[in-house]
Amino acid sequence: MALSFFSNPVIMLHERIVYFLFLCTVVDSFHVSNNPHNNIYSNVRPSKKKIGNKNWNPYISQVTNRCCYYLNDSSVSCANSPLIKPPGVTLKIAIDKNGGVADARAIADGVSVRFTCPSSLDMVHRLRRVSDAVLVGSSTVRIDDPSLTVRRVDPETYVNGEGKVCEIQPVRVVIDPNLRLLIQENHNDKESDASCKNNNHDNIQKESIVQDVCIFNDEFETLIYHGHHISLPANYTNRFPNLRLVPIETDFLLQKTNGHMKKPMLSTRKVLSHLRDVLHINHVMVEGGPATALSFLNENTVDRAIVVKAPVTFDNPVPSNIDHDLMKNSGLTLLGTDMFGDDEIEYWVKHGETWPTSQFKDWP
């Protein structure tokens, strides 16, 4: 039939060309659908991205439209996933009856206390599983030392080129404008007074790696976004090969706190733009702490939010400064509430948008 079409002198040349291109598309589609790797990952991939001293290889799932990055392995496959992974930002925050996120005295004692019920913790891990990245501030890392991985539920997996089944974990992202997790200024106490008098700063030294935390030492990738003006610590890549530092141009968003001016902040919009446009990370879970949550809410970059209210009261609460008025001013609408054990869960979504599922209780 095709041969008769091309040999028919009545058919115009441009019609033959169109039909030829159509046949090529059909053949190519058949080839893709019968390739076991192409069933899962598209042939059309974004280019490799260099972060630090390593190249990340991207793979985009045709089922979830999720882009995963793996190092030094061009033969990666992944099982089809029925999980719903919406684009944008999902904020999760847990508070006590009075809006506190932690007990200040426990923090001072170096104690991190979980105060939500097991069902709420399971929900958090389900949310991590459907996120391309989990984002926190440096204070959360310093105080809680979280792993930010999927553990309480089964993570997604992929099979590498050697046939080994590996976990797919979200990329850990830390907002640390001044690299406090890696750099501190050490003063020689005995000579500090004399140094100040003589304007001699030789005894003030910047030393790297002051926080030997969990996310620096496992096999999964971690990104730290910091101000572009910060000098990087020496030899950090040798000690932490899975750690990547990403400079972001600083926005001088000065905010008043107790009458003083805070240091310049990183714009959440610029961080999200880099994650989305450069790394092709589509769904970001913002997991805390309160200052980081507030920065996203104040810039109206939250698409949906899950607020866990536990039936506890901290003696010395660290305030979240997050209430219904702030959520509404950030462009969010309360869809409804649910109970996980003794915890009340609030579901918020951006004005005009819908929840990832028809029933908000069904996701994540």
Residue-wise pLDDT for 80-130, tens only, equals 446 888 999 999 999 999 999 999 998 888 887 889 999 999 999 999 999
CA angle 51, 293, 335 (to 5 degrees): 120
pLDDT score for 206: 47
Which of 105-114, 246-255, 276-285 shows the lowest mean pLDDT across its residues? Answer: 246-255
Question: Has residue 166 got a pLDDT over 90?
Answer: no
Q: CA 61, CA 220: separation in Å to the nearest integer?
A: 20
pLDDT score for 264: 63
pLDDT score for 135: 98
- SS3 for 42? coil
pLDDT over 70, % of the chain = 66
Cα separation of the two ends of the chain: 51
Q: CA 141, CA 214: separation in Å to the nearest integer?
A: 9
pLDDT score for 66: 42
Q: CA 82, CA 80: separation in Å to the nearest integer?
A: 7
Q: What is the pLDDT of residues 16-68, one digit of tens each?
A: 555 555 555 443 433 333 332 222 223 334 445 444 444 545 544 332 334 44
Supply 328's token pair.
């509404």
Q: Which residue, among 198, 183, 189, has the nearest Cα to 236 in the 3D structure?
A: 183
Q: Say if CB 156 and CB 194 are below 8 A apart.
A: no
- Which residues have CB under 8 Å from 338's CB, separation 6+? 344, 345, 347, 360, 361
Q: Say if CB 173 and CB 225 are below 8 A apart.
A: yes
Average pLDDT rounded to a whole number, residues 3-8: 51
Q: CA 150, CA 167: separation in Å to the nearest integer?
A: 9
**With bands split at pLDDT 50, 70 and 90, how would you rate the model's confidence at 212?**
confident
Supply 131's token pair.
């996120």
pLDDT score for 34: 33
pLDDT score for 263: 57
pLDDT score for 355: 95
Q: What is the pLDDT of residues 219-231, one digit of tens each?
A: 888 999 999 888 8
Is the bond preceding residue 364 a cis peptide, omega within 30 degrees? yes
Average pLDDT rounded to a whole number, residues 172-181: 93
Q: CA 279, CA 302: separation in Å to the nearest integer?
A: 19
Q: Say if CB 150 and CB 124 are below 8 A apart.
A: no
Which H or E run includes 344? Answer: strand 343-350
Q: Which residue, among 167, 119, 124, 168, has the nearest Cα to 144 in the 3D structure?
A: 124
Question: Has residue 163 got a pLDDT over 70?
Answer: yes
Question: Has residue 343 got a pLDDT over 80?
Answer: yes
Average pLDDT rounded to a whole number, residues 244-261: 65
Question: Has residue 346 got a pLDDT over 80?
Answer: yes
Place of tokens 């042939």: 43
Q: CA 192, CA 194: separation in Å to the nearest integer?
A: 6
pLDDT score for 200: 37
Global pTM reads: 0.72
Question: Has residue 314 got a pLDDT over 80?
Answer: yes
Q: CA 313, CA 20: separation in Å to the nearest integer?
A: 71
